[in-house]
A and B are shown apart, each in its own frame.
Chain A
Amino acid sequence: MNKCAEKEVAFFGKITAGITHEINNVLAIIKESSGLLEDILAITEEDAFPHKDRFKKILNRISGQIQRGNDITTNLNRFAHSPDYSPASVDLNEVAEQMVLLASRFARLKNVILKAGHHDESVIIKTHPVALQMALFESIEIILDLITSRGKIILFPRKTDNQYVVGVHFEDTTPDDIVIMQSISSCDRWESLEKTMVYLGGTAETDDSALEILLYLPNSIDK
């Protein structure tokens, strides 16, 4: 990435992180306000308020949505801080989990389930966090473009024979899996993914039998 692009990404990250703080403050005020209503309901006599149960139900719904909003802002904040240090040490398990949360809406729009398979141990490498997330997202998008509705995409980080890999595996509901695999490396986005992987010092490959895009990464990148 050139200096100007780095500055742009850093600027974008800084502003986004600041906004997540603001949203978080809004959520905190809504949480305490609905909590106060719950407190008042709890000390109100049953007979004095005939709609007590309906209010409780609605307050529970608000509470659930606050939690949801909080999870979203937490992930967005983490994402916004990705360009703070580059290269930086990252755990591929955590990156995969975070990517699942960030990309879940794109998968949901296609009725596709997105999951992260967790490696037993930490899989730590020194890399460019933003570019790594881009590579994962590009892989997910490539599969989303080809997969049919109700399929499944699973991100599998792993370390084998001193190789660091994130497998982007898919399961489709149609028997055309192999056809999809064959069309992956000829699609327009593949070239872009390969460029991203070159920047990361790695490669992108496909494994037709395992139905996976394999992202091979070096354990450390210096610049």
Chain B
Amino acid sequence: MKKRILLVDDEKEFADTLSERLRTRDFDVTTAYSGDEALEKLKEYNYDVTILDVQMPGLNGIDALREIKKLKPLTEVLMLTGHGTVETAIEGMKIGAYDFLMKPCEMDVLLSKINNAYERKYKHEERIRKAFTEKLSTSPMSVFK
């Protein structure tokens, strides 16, 4: 199954071009041009990794991150930062972002961070599945509660 990426950046041409590059590398990529649009898309679909610009008009990166984590706690978030916004990205990591990237970023660095974020999400989901299976085997009726 392809890894599902949500790319959020108000710079439309940047988001479109980067998403096209990721698609050529076999990712399933959706773009959103604002924090609000990202939240709408997250309600409709499960993404493995969200790449989120820190500085956007309207709902900024940190507020968007908080909402994403409320909505889809397992979705991993990579913060995209520019000059002078590294502190914001660090704040983002304190509230649940997986990592951050400086813009413009090298493709191999981006791919490595996406893959690492995906791995973490996959392992997290595996642990949840395992816990659920154990619960089911010890107490089958608990699933009907």
Cα A32 to Cα B24 in complex, Å, equals 13
Task: Tell me, yes or no, whether B71 is within 8 Å of chain A by CB.
Answer: no
Q: Which residues of chain B have C-beta atoms less than 8 A from A43's C-beta?
A: 24
Task: Tell me, yes or no, whether B84 is within 8 Å of chain A by CB.
Answer: yes
Do the beta carbons of B84 and A27 come within 8 Å of each other? no
Q: Which residues of chain A have C-beta atoms less than 8 A from B84's C-beta?
A: 17, 21, 77, 81
Cα A73 to Cα B82 in complex, Å, equals 10
Cα A17 to Cα B82 in complex, Å, equals 11
Q: Which residues of chain A have C-beta atoms less than 8 A from B83's C-beta?
A: 17, 20-21, 24, 73-74, 77-78
Q: Which residues of chain A have C-beta atoms less than 8 A from B20's C-beta?
A: 36
Do the beta carbons of A21 and B14 come within 8 Å of each other? no
Task: Tell me, yes or no, whether B40 is within 8 Å of chain A by CB.
Answer: no
> Could you mark each residue 5-29 of chain A with 1 if its beta carbon is under 8 Å from any beta carbon of chain B, else 0?
0000000000001001100110111
Which residue of chain B has the shortest Cβ distance to A33 in the bound complex? Answer: B17
B18, B24, B82, B107: which contacts A24 (Cβ < 8 A)?
B82
Task: Tell me, yes or no, whether B3 is within 8 Å of chain A by CB.
Answer: no
Number of chain A residues close to chain B: CB under 8 A: 23
Q: Which residues of chain B have C-beta atoms less than 8 A from A77's C-beta?
A: 83-84
A43 CB to closest chain B CB, in angstroms? 7
Q: Which residues of chain A have C-beta atoms less than 8 A from B18's C-beta?
A: 32
Do the beta carbons of A36 and B17 come within 8 Å of each other? yes
Do the beta carbons of A21 and B55 come within 8 Å of each other? yes
Which residue of chain A has the shortest Cβ distance to B24 in the bound complex? Answer: A39
Given A32-B104, A39-B24, A70-B104, A25 and B17 contact (CB-CB distance below 8 Å): no
Do the beta carbons of A25 and B107 come within 8 Å of each other? no
Which residue of chain B has the shortest Cβ distance to A81 in the bound complex? Answer: B84
A88 CB to closest chain B CB, in angstroms? 15
Kindly list the 9 A-B residue pairs having the minimum CB-CB distance in the complex, ordered from nearest.
A77-B83, A28-B104, A32-B17, A31-B104, A29-B14, A32-B18, A29-B13, A28-B103, A39-B24
A residues near B, CB below 8 A? 17, 20-21, 24-25, 27-29, 31-33, 35-36, 39-40, 43, 66, 70, 73-74, 77-78, 81
B residues near A, CB below 8 A? 11, 13-14, 17-18, 20-21, 24, 55, 82-84, 103-104, 107
Known: A28-B14, A32-B14. 8 other contacts (CB 8 A): A20-B83, A24-B82, A28-B104, A29-B17, A33-B17, A36-B20, A40-B24, A81-B84
